[in-house]
């Protein structure tokens, strides 16, 4: 059986990165809903992220999105984060909100548009230099809507050239994380639609290019944990964008729609050594709160990832291996399900208390009165929001 002290140590060492855009206003393509107390600038987003870390103890990093988190002095922003007990994580690029990008960015048929997009990506690396961020996270909205609209192969060539230029600019301790998504906003072809395309580009680029698995970016029924196991085996999994979905890229709270899938993913992570810091896996959230309050929703997601990790750590690896070796299908499945069916909440409550944290981070945050305080303090000004 797994050693509980070792399970607790692994859980205490896990690092979950929260997204700056998870604290701002968001919505659907129909409407962005404003909430009281939402941050008005990147500094206030960091204040929120710091509270998530303070209550959970496992969320010390914050991903930024450029230009949504644009500031004059990125070193000052990094210093501000540090003062609050968090640090800046991945820099997410944005090549999908300019009019110039109607037909794509790094895959656009016009070299001038491609240059503009690459320039933005290079600017993001400059920001990484200033913030100390190690990861450049790339997702491209590039694709086509109609057969014949553009040359699919030429688009791949343009993508490869653009990525190579940015990769060459990275420092030795910086990585490129390439995210895929099977459709949307393009509906006929997408230029990085799946892990295989991302992996092929990463292989050509070099060892510091890795694939990001956003759990909401697959066709229904896709076996995401298989992709995770394969990329880990190849040393090319860079990290996760955790969120959950019922239909498409729903960006709901991680672990809300399918906690069993999150467990199966974390089982492959644990099985393949992905929790060890040396594996370099970034456990990031990418969610867009819409109808629920921001900070408690991020806390909830962090806790959900923690619960799935705890269950994965409780899998009796020896018993599982023995059952698999014996070809005992039912026994092997039962070993996995025993771990999944374990109520890990007492374990996590105990772990938090041992670390001087409240056993129930969401309740503790709500009890603190901070939500009401920021609603009053942050009245006026322009709230940060999706698309801004």
What DSSP designation does 240 have?
Answer: E
Gyration radius (Cα) of the chain, Å = 21
Please state, in angstroms and rounded to a whole number, the distance separating the CA atoms of residues 66 and 137. 11
How many other β-carbons are positioned within 10 Å of the β-carbon of residue 332? Answer: 18
Please state, in angstroms and rounded to a whole number, the distance separating the CA atoms of residues 314 and 176. 32
The residue among 44 and 214 lying less far from Mn ion, judged by its C-beta, is: 214
The residue among 22 and 385 lying less far from Mn ion, judged by its C-beta, is: 22
- Give CA 358 to chain center in angstroms: 25
> Does 241 contact Mn ion by CB under 5 A?
yes
- Kindly state the smallest distance separating residue 217's Cβ from Mn ion, in Å: 7
- Kindly state the smallest distance separating residue 322's Cβ from Mn ion, in Å: 38
- Kindly state the smallest distance separating residue 60's Cβ from Mn ion, in Å: 20
**How many residues sit close enough to Mn ion to count as binding (CB under 5 A)?**
3
Tokens of 225: 């944990």
Select from 251, 286, 307, 358 the one that contacts Mn ion (CB under 5 A): 286
Q: Residues, the chain, total?
A: 388
Select from 69, 142, 191, 214 the one that contacts Mn ion (CB under 5 A): 214
Residues in contact with 111: Cβ distance below 8 Å, sequence separation at least 6, in sequence order: none
- Kindly state the smallest distance separating residue 241's Cβ from Mn ion, in Å: 3
- Pick the stretch among 18-26, 211-219, 295-303, 342-350 that binds Mn ion (CB under 5 A): 211-219
The residue among 225 and 358 lying less far from Mn ion, judged by its C-beta, is: 225
- Pick the stretch among 52-60, 233-241, 290-298, 355-363 that binds Mn ion (CB under 5 A): 233-241
Q: Which helix (H) or strand (E) holds 17?
A: strand 16-19
- Kindly state the smallest distance separating residue 194's Cβ from Mn ion, in Å: 14
Please, are residues 150 and 103 in contact by the beta-carbon 8 Å criterion?
yes
The residue among 69 and 241 lying less far from Mn ion, judged by its C-beta, is: 241
- Pick the stretch among 14-22, 112-120, 241-249, 272-280 that binds Mn ion (CB under 5 A): 241-249
Residues in contact with 233: Cβ distance below 8 Å, sequence separation at least 6, in sequence order: 272
The residue among 241 and 307 lying less far from Mn ion, judged by its C-beta, is: 241
- Kindly state the smallest distance separating residue 216's Cβ from Mn ion, in Å: 7
The residue among 194 and 286 lying less far from Mn ion, judged by its C-beta, is: 286
Identify residues 303-362 at the interface with Mn ion (CB under 5 A).
Answer: none
- Pick the stretch among 120-128, 162-170, 212-220, 274-282 that binds Mn ion (CB under 5 A): 212-220
What DSSP designation does 384 have?
Answer: P
> Does 135 contact Mn ion by CB under 5 A?
no
Please state, in angstroms and rounded to a whole number, the distance separating the CA atoms of residues 315 and 164. 41
- Per DSSP, the residues of 346-380 read HHHHHHHHHTT--S-HHHHHHHTTHHHHHHHHT-S
- Kindly state the smallest distance separating residue 55's Cβ from Mn ion, in Å: 24
Interface mask toward Mn ion for 39-78; x: CB under 5 A = ----------------------------------------
Please state, in angstroms and rounded to a whole number, the distance separating the CA atoms of residues 196 and 202. 10
Cis peptide before 185 (omega within 30 of 0): yes
Please state, in angstroms and rounded to a whole number, the distance separating the CA atoms of residues 74 and 79. 9
The residue among 44 and 241 lying less far from Mn ion, judged by its C-beta, is: 241
Interacting residues toward Mn ion by CB under 5 A: 214, 241, 286
């Amino acid at each position: 059986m797994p050693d509980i002290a070792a399970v607790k140590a692994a859980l205490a060492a896990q690092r979950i990165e929260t997204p700056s855009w998870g604290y701002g206003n968001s919505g659907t393509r129909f409407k962005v809903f404003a909430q009281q107390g939402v941050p008005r600038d990147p500094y206030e987003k960091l204040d929120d992220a710091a509270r998530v870390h303070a209550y959970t103890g496992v969320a010390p990093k914050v991903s930024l999105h450029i230009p949504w988190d644009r500031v004059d002095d990125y070193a000052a922003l990094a210093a501000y984060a540090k003062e609050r007990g968090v640090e800046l994580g991945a820099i997410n690029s944005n090549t999908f909100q300019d009019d110039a990008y109607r037909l794509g960015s790094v895959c656009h048929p016009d070299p001038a548009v491609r240059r503009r997009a690459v320039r933005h990506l290079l600017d993001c690396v400059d920001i990484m230099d200033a913030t100390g961020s190690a990861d450049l996270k790339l997702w491209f909205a590039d694709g086509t809507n109609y057969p014949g609209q553009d040359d699919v192969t030429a688009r791949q060539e343009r993508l490869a050239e653009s990525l190579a230029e940015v990769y060459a600019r990275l420092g030795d301790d910086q990585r490129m994380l390439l995210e895929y998504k099977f459709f949307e906003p393009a509906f006929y072809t997408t230029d990085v639609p799946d892990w295989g395309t991302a992996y092929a580009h990463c292989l050509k680029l070099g060892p510091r290019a890795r694939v990001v698995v956003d759990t909401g970016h697959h066709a229904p029924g896709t076996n995401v944990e298989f992709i995770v196991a394969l990329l880990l085996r190849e040393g090319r999994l860079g990290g996760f964008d955790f969120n959950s979905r019922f239909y498409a890229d729903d960006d709901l709270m991680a672990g809300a729609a399918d906690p069993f899938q999150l467990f199966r993913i974390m089982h492959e992570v644990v099985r393949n050594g992905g929790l060890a810091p040396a594996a370099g896996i970034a456990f990031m959230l990418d969610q867009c709160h819409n109808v629920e309050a921001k900070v408690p929703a991020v806390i909830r997601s962090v806790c959900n990832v923690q619960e799935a990790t705890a269950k994965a750590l409780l899998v009796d690896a020896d018993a599982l291996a023995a059952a698999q070796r014996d070809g005992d299908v039912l026994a092997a499945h039962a070993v996995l399900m025993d771990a999944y069916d374990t109520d890990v909440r007492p374990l996590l409550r105990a772990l938090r208390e041992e670390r001087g944290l409240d056993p129930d981070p969401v309740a503790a945050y709500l009890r603190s009165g901070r939500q009401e305080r920021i609603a009053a303090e942050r009245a006026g000004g322009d709230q940060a929001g999706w698309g801004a």
